[in-house]
Amino acid sequence: MFAKLKLAKFAQLTASEARAELPDAISRVAFGGERIIICRHGKALVALVSLADLELLRSFEDAADLAAAKKSLKARGKSIPYAQARKSLGLK
């Protein structure tokens, strides 16, 4: 779904470092605008991002969902009543 992130753009911490430095990492994200990738065994697992970044991500997801729904509504065929659909699926 998402393109491979270029992790070099982001600060990185190991899980152990993140545990030890969590208050500082939170401040760096909340007040410094950083995005921090937390890794375990050399693999990126999670990201620490600001609420503003999270809201932006949500707005992108909402826009993509809306576009998909509109496309689906345009492409749909003739609708059938709910009772008929249940009957055709063998549901009571």
Q: Which residue range is the domain that position 39 belongs to?
A: 7-49
Of 87 and 2, the one with more pLDDT: 87
What integer pLDDT is reported at residue 29 of this predicted model? Answer: 96
Decide which of 8 and 91 is more confident.
Answer: 91
Indicate the pairing of strand 11-14 with strand 43-48: unpaired
pLDDT at 8: 64
Q: Tens of pLDDT along 11-42? A: 999 999 999 999 999 999 999 999 999 999 99
Q: What percentage of residues in the chain have a pLDDT greater than 90?
A: 64
Cβ neighbours of 90 (radius 10 Å): 6
How many structural domains is the chain composed of? 2
Give the pLDDT confidence score for residue 1 in this predicted structure.
39
Tokens of 55: 């809201």
Count Cα atoms within 13 angstroms, Cβ side, for 89.
9
Same domain, residue pair 29 and 12: yes
Task: Decide if 91 is inside a domain.
Answer: yes
Report how far Cα 55 is from the mean position of its chain's Cα atoms. 10
26 and 40 share a domain?
yes
